[in-house]
Chains A and B, each alone.
Chain A
Amino acid sequence: GAGVSQSPSNKVTEKGKDVELRCDPISGHTALYWYRQRLGQGLEFLIYFQGNSAPDKSGLPSDRFSAERTGESVSTLTIQRTQQEDSAVYLCASSSLRTGGATNTEAFFGQGTRLTVV
């Protein structure tokens, strides 16, 4: 596809259940980011993948959160034993980082997955 695609767009889950969120980045983009955005608030960095390097997991709020990415393709964010505080929009972004040898800072975002834990 032309842009970053996230699925599902909305997810309602019961407290204690596990959820898996999916992100399809723009083809060829080596960098992939996950952010969390609570209602009316800013973007909270969760995790960053860059090519085959070890991911930067410094933003994951607890060990209930994990993410995987295979090569430079799809990424999944998994939240285990969901809590009501996990309710938020989860945004994925991808970036090429380099364009013609120059640094490219632009990250392209998906529409997000709105997670509601009841």
Chain B
Amino acid sequence: GESVGLHLPTLSVQEGDNSIINCAYSNSASDYFIWYKQESGKGPQFIIDIRSNMDKRQGQRVTVLLNKTVKHLSLQIAATQPGDSAVYFCAEFYTGGFKTIFGAGTRLFVKA
């Protein structure tokens, strides 16, 4: 669900390492779960989504894992690069209302 008014947690990783960003969601009725990336001074940009009936989906250098039992979503970034430094938001999407609700973000710092 939405986490408003909280300062963002930070994850710091070494360039070349894998990154894992986690997100807890609250609504079991969501049909899709989405990850967005927001670079400084820009609007969020879609990375990847996963349908609620799936456990895993892979994209280019990214993998999203969904654990509905514990309502947990994660984004794994392989071989993290300096350009991956950004804030990452998870989001829930309801096909009933077609509304996207953002969860708390995580700031990723990539150390060279």
Contact = CB atoms under 8 A, between A and B. Distances in A.
B95 interface: yes
B7 A40 contact: yes
A19 to B, nearest CB: 19
A106 B43 contact: no
| Secondary structure class of chain A's binding surface, majority of residues | strand
Interface string A38-58: 101111110010100000100
Given A107-B46, A109-B43, A41 B101 contact: no
Contacts of A48: 97, 99
Interface string B42-55: 11111001000000
A110 B43 contact: yes
A41 B7 contact: yes
Interface in A3-55: 4, 31, 33, 35, 38, 40-45, 48, 50
Interface size class of A (residues with CB under 8 A): 20 to 34
B70 interface: no
B6 A35 contact: no
B5 A41 contact: yes
Interface in B1-16: 2-8
B36 to A, nearest CB: 8
Contacts of B3: 42
Residue among A38, A43, A45, A93 with the most chain B CB within 10 A?
A43
Given A105-B34, A109-B43, A42 B95 contact: no
Interface of A: 4, 31, 33, 35, 38, 40-45, 48, 50, 56, 91, 93, 95, 97, 103, 105-112
9 closest residue pairs by CB, A with B: A109-B43, A43-B102, A106-B46, A105-B93, A105-B49, A44-B4, A105-B32, A42-B105, A97-B98
